[in-house]
Amino acid sequence: MVKMKPADAPLVIARPDLLKAVERWRRHLAHERRLAAKTVEAYSRDVEQFLSFLAGHLGEPVRLGDLADIRVTDIRAFLASRRNAGAGSRTIARGIAGVRSLVRFLERDGTATGAPFRAVRPPAQKRSLPRPLPPEAASRVVSLDDALDEEPWIAARNTAIFALLYGCGLRISEALSLKRSEAPRDAHDALRITGKGGKERIVPVLPAVTAAIAQYLNLCPYAPGSDSPLFLGARGDRLNPRIVQRAMAKLRSALGLPETATPHALRHSFATHLLANGGDLRGIQELLGHASLSTTQVYTEVDTDRLMAAFDAAHPRA
């Protein structure tokens, strides 16, 4: 994480006592809080940026005790430096969240204080809403009849993946992590999905999704073992997510869909269309694997926006 930078005159931004504390914090995130590896890496980069700034601010490598002497003005100076470097509000807010996580961890044994961080508000950021596809467009994306002129088994594979994203609300990584032995075989099957942070959830599978996967397996020219990936690339190896994204881009162009029609938009469409048809918000949270209900509540805003747009377009006095 935070180490010497290779150069003729290496710059040490943290003393050994602080480096050891940071490593303990990283293990805490990974093993006790069970955060995803990419989240731990992102938080680690945020802390490295802060310590690098602080070392320049103090004129010497940062000691563990220095974190107990942090003032509000130091934090504001860091935020200003990130803004001057071109970082946006969302990036800055996430960056300060990573540093706060470290400080909260160290606060437990009295080696840091989180009061200055609690006194500083991260920059306000405009909340971006998910961009779901209209139901008709989503249905065409998951229809083999609209698949592009590819090898039949590859077209069936892409359709099966899109069907999982839209019909079950999976992320691309979750769909591609499925093993062949986990493929649903009948209309009453369910999938046990391990999502972000190792959080498990049970997702029911629609008959149309089961049929799409069965069609793919029937046409697939490869027959690997049960522990092999369910979805394979053209050469029979593990399928790269970029292949799925490129397939969606080609389909998007062929169907005349907007740039926002991405594989992840199918997951957004799953949640939005469920909610629009009377789905329970708490149930949708469970299906999506969101740790917090507030994350799922964003879809209520999407549905309200669609309702108001329809009102403005149709009401004679609008």
What are 154-164's pLDDT values in tens digits? 999 999 999 99
**Amino acid residing at 219:** L
Exposure string (b/e) for 200-221, b if CB count within 10 Å is 16 or more? ebebebeeebbebbbbbbeebe
Instruction: State whether residue 238 is helix, strand or coil.
Output: strand
What CA dihedral angle connects 31, 32, 34 and 38, to 10 degrees? -60
* Domains, the chain, ordered by start: 16-119 (1.10.150.130), 135-314 (1.10.443.10)
Among the listed ranges 98-107, 155-164, 210-219, 285-294, which one has the minimum average pLDDT value?
A: 285-294
- Confirm if 102 and 22 have CB atoms less than 8 A apart: yes
What pLDDT is recorded for position 309?
60
pLDDT tens-place string over residues 105-154: 998 888 888 888 888 877 665 666 678 888 889 988 888 776 666 789 99
Q: Are strands 190-194 and 200-204 parallel, antiparallel or unpaired?
A: antiparallel
Nearest Cα to 153, choosing from 60, 234, 56, 248?
A: 234
User: In sequence order, what are the beta bridge partners of 132?
Assistant: none
Q: In sequence order, what are the residues at sequence separation of 6 or more whose Cβ sits closer than 8 angstroms to the Cβ of residue 118? A: none
pLDDT tens-place string over residues 157-202: 999 999 999 999 999 999 999 999 999 988 678 899 988 878 889 9
| Residues carrying an active site annotation | 171, 196, 264, 267, 290, 299
Residue 94 to residue 96: CA distance in whole angstroms: 6
